[in-house]
């Protein structure tokens, strides 16, 4: 701490250079914050997936349906405790830009498989008793100002027409990842009105007795329907959610690639700035050694400068990213959980410090190894 | 007492058979050859000699900034060659104060902060450090300029700050490498007066490298270096005798 002042005044010597280097960190960490937010928003389904749940879908593709009759057969298989199903509806409200996820669900069994969604019994009963009833999430209610009792027209994209629904319940949850803008309504209502795929569902969600039996249960389900016209592919809910997220490409690889390029560039920029700073101060470093400063302290001083730049710039970038994400999902529903988590903030800050340290280490080692007599001769 | 015959005992500085060679472009250059020197505490010695005679090299070796090719240097009982890294740095902080021709102050620090630098390596409290720094600046007559930056000071004032920095930790030895070389006569005289006072009143052991006979006159002993060999001289700068037959 005694040398903190020296570190700070050294950073202030070339204000433009320091500001630009800090700015590089700010831009890089802002970008990191946004990319991390996009990644976690796309993968939020993966994070909330239950360890004791399997998803059964058509082996050919997720958009191919499965017969509704499969539910009873699945329930008879070993380790299966409960099963429910849902079908993607794909409707929108008034305009395509108002799109949000909406599903037709198996109302009688849904809550037993998804206990994490909380309802008052009164609301759930009202929903269950109204074939045109629907459940909405709090963000959806907030987005369109909907409340219980409202009648909502949904324009179908797969099946024709306008489908009117009554808001009967708004679920609650204390898990932020579960609060995406979404709507559920009765499967019976869908099956009654649609013109094709009657008696078919989109996928099943199966609750098993123990996560340790997931492989055995999944194999039993797929074996049961092997060589049938609608073969199944069963996987854990986590794998299913990850596969769903990856439909738009390998986001993880994309983000990692962009992040790597940005951080590598950052290393070069900062490393160059630090190398220049050390080169300009060769004589002063020699004087510090002459008065008795040891090599390790000299190394620490240079490292401290690089890390201070990283901390200030990186911190500013992350704060800006956080402020940006606080404005909410910029895509209008595609990235429901557009939220920069404390974990990602901490990770970003740690990465910034690591980049600062990596950029500073070579100039710092050069300063540490500086021979006093050689350096003084250059003054 | 100062001796150049290598026969001194229990001196503050004992240099024995000191060789220093440099390699430059494949050629080996003998800078110092078989040099012996004994210096007691409180002596003020001036080194003179032509450029390249090894004056600064000798100063650097005594200060532990450079390592000899052969021979030993013992200061206050410590053999410098046996010290390395952290120990050598700590030894330098404890025993050596350097004054350079170009002052070598840190431009972004005030006079006070420059002088305080060696004390940051000690365990002194902030208030103790302040006390030491103010005392050192008072000794060089710069208390009224302590919050000025080097660019706001004249050359003579900068060198006085450098002297304050060199003495603030109360080192055993002061090594002065042409401290007046970049100053006008008046400023140079002020600096020499301070250095003389440090020798006279504070019994500091001082090694002064200079080309200036006037500066050298301030020293109690004048040693002439030529082609890597020490010759003891009279105070007026004349070579008094050859090292092999000189006794003092």
Residue A244 lies in a domain: no
A255 and A141 fall within a common domain: no
For residue range A295-327, list pLDDT tens digits in order.
999 999 999 999 999 999 999 999 999 999 888
Query: In a 3-state reduction of DSSP, which class is residue B71?
Result: strand
Verify whether the Cβ–Cβ distance B120 to A10 is below 8 Å: no
pLDDT at site A45? 57
Report the pLDDT value the prediction gives residue A38, as an integer from 0 to 100: 85
Rounded Cα distance between B132 and B154, Å, is: 23
Give, to the nearest 10 degrees, the angle between helix A342-369 and helix A295-326. 160
Residues A154, A9 within the same domain: no
> Is residue A334 included in any domain, yes or no?
yes
Rounded to an integer, the average pLDDT of B62-70 is: 92
For B247, residues 6+ apart whose C-beta sits below 8 A from its C-beta are B3, B5
Residues A208 and A275 reside in one and the same domain: no
CB contact under 8 A, A9 and B86: no
Residue B102's H or E segment, with its range, is: none
Q: Kindly state whether residues A312 and A373 are assigned to the same domain.
A: yes
Confidence band, pLDDT 50/70/90 cuts, at residue A98: confident
| A3–B85 CB contact, under 8 Å | no
Q: Are B223 and B45 in contact (CB under 8 A)?
A: yes
Q: Does A294 touch chain B (CB under 8 A)?
A: yes
Q: What is the pLDDT of residues A188-200, one digit of tens each?
A: 999 998 889 999 9
A292 contacts chain B (CB < 8 A): yes
Q: Which residue has the higher pLDDT, B107 or A259?
A: B107
Question: Could you tell me if B83 lies within 8 Å of chain A, comparing CB atoms?
Answer: no
Q: What is the mean pLDDT of residues B94-115?
A: 93
Q: Within 13 Å, how many C-alpha atoms sit on residue A112's CB side?
A: 13
The pLDDT tens digits of the residues spanning A236-277 come to 887 777 776 666 667 777 778 888 888 888 889 889 999 998
**Do the Cβ atoms of B109 and A9 come within 8 Å?**
yes
State which residue of chain A sits closest to B120, comparing Cα positions.
A2
- Report the C-alpha gap between B30 and B50 in whole angstroms: 15
SS3 (DSSP) at B74 = strand
Chain A contact present for B1, CB below 8 A: no
In total, how many domains does chain A have?
Answer: 2
Chain B neighbors of A3, CB-CB under 8 A? 120
pLDDT(A41) > 60: yes
Q: Same domain for A70 and A205?
A: yes
**Residues whose CB is less than 8 angstroms from the CB of residue A144 and which lie 6 or more positions away in sequence, other chains included:** A93, A98
How close does chain B come to A281, measured CA to CA in Å? Answer: 9
Q: Does B67 touch chain A (CB under 8 A)?
A: no
Q: Is the pLDDT of residue B96 over 90?
A: yes
d(CA B141, CA B164): 10
Mean pLDDT of A281-295: 91
Given this model, what pLDDT does residue B22 score? 87
User: Distance between alpha carbon A280 and the CA centroid of its chain, in Å?
Assistant: 44
The residue among B78, B117, B167 with the most chain A CBs within 10 A of its CB, best to mutate, is: B117
Distance of residue A285 Cα from the nearest chain B Cα, in angstroms: 9
Query: Which one has a higher pLDDT value, B205 or B242?
Result: B205
Q: How many helices (H) and strands (E) does chain A have?
A: 15, 11
Beta strands B221-226; B229-233: pairing state:
antiparallel
Residues A67 and A202 in one domain: yes
Chain A residues inside the 8 Å CB shell of B165: 291
Is A202 in contact with A213 (CB distance < 8 Å)?
A: no
Lowest-pLDDT choice from A164-168, B76-80, B238-242: B238-242
Residues of B in contact with A372 (CB under 8 A): 60, 65-66
Residue A284 contacts B where some CB pair is shorter than 8 Å:
yes
Q: Is B63 on the interface with A (CB under 8 A)?
A: yes
Determine the Cα–Cα distance for residues A58 and A67; give it in Å rounded to an integer. Answer: 10
Say what percent of chain A tops pLDDT 90.
55
Query: Chain A contacts of B120, Cβ < 8 Å?
Result: 2-3
Question: Are A115 and A35 members of one domain?
Answer: no
Q: So what's the pLDDT on residue A333?
A: 58
Is residue A124 in a domain? yes
Kindly state whether residues A107 and A223 are assigned to the same domain.
Answer: yes
Does residue A24 form part of some domain?
yes
CB contact under 8 A, B121 and A3: no
Sequence-distant (6+) residues with CB within 8 A of B12 are B39, B40, B41, B43, B75, B76, B172, B173, B205
Q: Do B121 and A292 touch (CB under 8 A)?
A: yes
Q: Which of B65, B106, B118 sits opposite A373 (nearest CB)?
A: B65
Find, among B213, B214, B244, the residue nearest to B230 by Cα.
Answer: B244
A13 vs B108, B117, B169: nearest CB: B108
User: Lowest mean pLDDT: which of A149-158, A281-290, A335-344, B7-16?
Assistant: A335-344
Domain final position from A195, A230, A265:
A230
Neighbours of B123 (CB within 10 A): 6
**Is A239 inside a domain boundary?**
no
Residue B244 pLDDT more than 70?
no
Q: Which of A160, A143, A123, A81 is nearest to A331 (CA)?
A: A143
Q: What is the mean pLDDT of residues A201-217?
A: 90
Domain that holds residue A209: 60-230
Average pLDDT (A126-135) is 94
Chain A residue numbers touching B106 (CB-CB < 8 A): 6, 284, 287
Nearest residue to B92 via CA among B169, B148, B181:
B169
Residues of A in contact with B98 (CB under 8 A): 287, 290-291
Of A140 and B149, more confident: B149
CA distance A353 to chain B (A): 26
Q: How many CA atoms lie within 13 A of A53 on its CB side?
A: 23
What residues contact B70, with CB distance under 8 A and at least 6 apart?
Answer: B17, B18, B19
Q: Is residue A326 one of the residues assigned to a domain?
A: yes
Same domain, A33 and A83: no
Given pLDDT bands bounded at 50, 70 and 90, which one contains residue A234? very high
Q: Considering A197, A230, A263, which residue would you say is the last residue of a domain?
A: A230
Q: pLDDT by residue (tens digit) across B74-95?
A: 998 889 988 888 899 999 999 9
Task: Measure CB to CB from residue B65 to each of A2, A293, A372 and give the nearest one.
Answer: A372
Q: Which of A12, A277, A281, A292 to mutate to test the interface with B (most CBs of B within 10 A)?
A: A292
Task: Inspect the interface and report whether the beta carbons of B98 and A290 lie closer than 8 Å.
Answer: yes
Residues A283 and A216 both lie in one domain: no
The ipTM assigned to this model is: 0.87
* Chain B residue whose CA is closest to A284: B106
No. of H helices and E strands in chain B? 7, 11
Q: Are residues A158 and A12 in the same domain?
A: no
So what's the pLDDT on residue A2?
Answer: 81
The answer to whether residues A92 and A167 belong to one domain is yes
Among residues A182, A197, A230, the one where a domain terminates is A230
Give chain A's mean pLDDT. 88
Residue A53 within any structural domain of the chain: no
pLDDT at B170: 92
pLDDT category of residue B248 using cuts at 50, 70 and 90: very low
Q: Which residue of A has its CA nearest to B57?
A: A373
Contact B142, B161 (CB under 8 A): yes
Chain B residues closer than 8 Å to A293 by CB = 89, 93, 121
Is B89 part of the contact surface with chain A (CB cutoff 8 Å)? yes
Say if CB B131 and CB B143 are below 8 A apart.
no
Asked if B104 has any chain A CB less than 8 Å from its own CB, the reply is: yes
Query: What is the reported pLDDT for B197?
Result: 92
Question: A41 versus A63: which is more confidently predicted?
Answer: A63
Burial of A251 (0-12, 13-18, 19+ CB in 10 A): middle
Contact (CB, 8 A) for B73 and B13: yes
Q: Classify residue A135: in a domain, yes or no.
A: yes
Domains present along chain B, CATH in parentheses:
41-65+84-236 (3.40.50.300)
DSSP state of B23: E
Asked whether residue B192 carries a pLDDT value surpassing 90, the answer given is yes
3-state secondary structure of A160: coil
Of B94, B108, B169, the CB nearest to A9: B108
Q: What residues contact residue A65 under an 8 Å CB cut-off, 6+ apart? A: A58, A87, A197, A200, A201, A202, A230
A86-90, A151-155, A176-180, B200-204: the lowest-pLDDT one? A176-180
What pLDDT is recorded for position B238?
45
Give me the pLDDT at residue B241, please.
Answer: 41
Distance between CA B161 and CA B8 in Å, rounded? Answer: 35
The minimal CB distance from B120 to the residues A2, A295, A379 is found for A2
CA quadruple B148, B150, B154, B156: dihedral sign: positive
B86/A contact by beta carbon, under 8 A: yes
* Helix residue spans in chain B (DSSP H): 55-62, 85-95, 111-116, 126-139, 155-167, 185-202, 213-217
């Amino acid at each position: 701490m005694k040398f903190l002042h020296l570190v700070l005044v050294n950073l202030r010597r070339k204000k433009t250079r320091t500001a630009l280097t800090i700015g590089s960190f700010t831009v890089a960490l802002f970008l990191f914050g946004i990319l991390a937010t996009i990644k976690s928003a796309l993968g939020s389904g993966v994070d909330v997936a239950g360890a004791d749940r399997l998803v059964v879908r058509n082996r050919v593709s997720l958009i191919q349906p499965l017969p509704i009759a499969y539910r009873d057969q699945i329930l008879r298989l070993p380790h299966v405790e409960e099963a429910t199903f849902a079908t993607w509806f794909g409707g929108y409200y008034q305009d395509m830009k108002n799109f949000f996820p909406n599903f037709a669900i198996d109302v009688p069994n849904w809550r037993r498989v998804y206990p994490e969604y909380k309802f008052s019994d009164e609301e759930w009963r009202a929903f269950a008793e109204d074939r045109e009833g629907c459940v909405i999430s709090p963000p959806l209610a907030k987005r369109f100002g909907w409340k219980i009792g409202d009648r909502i027209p949904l324009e179908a994209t797969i099946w024709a027409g306008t489908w009117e629904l009554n808001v009967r319940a708004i679920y609650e949850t204390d898990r932020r990842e579960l609060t995406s803008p979404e709507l559920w309504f009765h499967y019976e209502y869908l099956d009654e009105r649609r013109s094709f795929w009657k008696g078919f569902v989109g996928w099943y969600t199966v609750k098993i007795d123990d996560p340790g039996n997931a492989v055995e249960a999944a194999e039993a389900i797929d074996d049961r329907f092997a060589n049938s016209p609608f073969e199944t592919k069963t996987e854990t809910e986590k794998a299913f959610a990850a596969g769903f997220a990856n439909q738009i490409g390998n986001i993880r690889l994309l983000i990692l690639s962009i992040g790597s390029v940005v951080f590598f560039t950052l290393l070069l920029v900062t490393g160059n700035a630090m190398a220049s700073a050390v080169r300009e101060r060769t004589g002063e470093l020699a004087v510090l050694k002459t008065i008795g400063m040891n090599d390790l302290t000299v190394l620490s001083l240079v490292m401290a400068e690089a890390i201070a730049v990283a901390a200030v710039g990186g911190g500013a970038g992350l704060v800006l990213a956080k402020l940006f994400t606080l404005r909410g999902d910029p895509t209008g529903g595609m990235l429901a959980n557009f939220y920069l988590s404390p974990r990602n903030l901490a990770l970003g800050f740690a990465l910034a410090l690591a980049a600062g340290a990596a950029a500073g280490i070579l100039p710092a080692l050069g300063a540490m190894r500086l021979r006093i007599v050689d350096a003084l001769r250059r003054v | 007492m100062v001796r150049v015959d290598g026969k001194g005992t229990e001196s503050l500085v004992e240099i024995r058979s000191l060789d220093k060679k440099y390699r430059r472009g494949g050629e080996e250059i003998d800078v110092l050859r078989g040099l012996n020197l004994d210096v007691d505490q409180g002596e003020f010695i001036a080194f003179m000699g032509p450029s390249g005679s090894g004056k600064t090299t000798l100063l650097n070796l005594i200060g532990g900034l450079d390592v000899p090719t052969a021979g030993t240097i013992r200061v206050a009982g410590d053999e410098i060659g046996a010290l390395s890294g952290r120990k050598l740095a700590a030894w330098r902080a404890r025993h050596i104060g350097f004054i350079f021709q170009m002052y070598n102050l840190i431009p972004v620090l005030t006079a006070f902060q420059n002088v305080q630098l060696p004390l940051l390596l000690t365990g002194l409290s902030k208030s103790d450090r302040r006390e030491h720094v103010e005392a050192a600046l008072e000794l060089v007559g710069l208390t009224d300029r302590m919050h000025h930056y080097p660019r706001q000071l004249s050359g003579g004032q900068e060198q006085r700050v450098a002297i304050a920095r060199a003495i603030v930790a109360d080192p055993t030895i002061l090594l002065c490498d042409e401290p007046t070389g970049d100053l006008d006569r008046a400023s140079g005289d002020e600096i020499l007066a301070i250095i003389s006072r440090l020798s006279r009143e504070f019994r500091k052991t001082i090694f002064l490298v200079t080309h200036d006979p006037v500066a050298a006159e301030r020293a109690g002993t004048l040693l002439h270096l030529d082609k890597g060999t020490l010759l003891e001289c009279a105070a007026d700068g004349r070579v008094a005798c050859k090292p092999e037959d000189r006794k003092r």
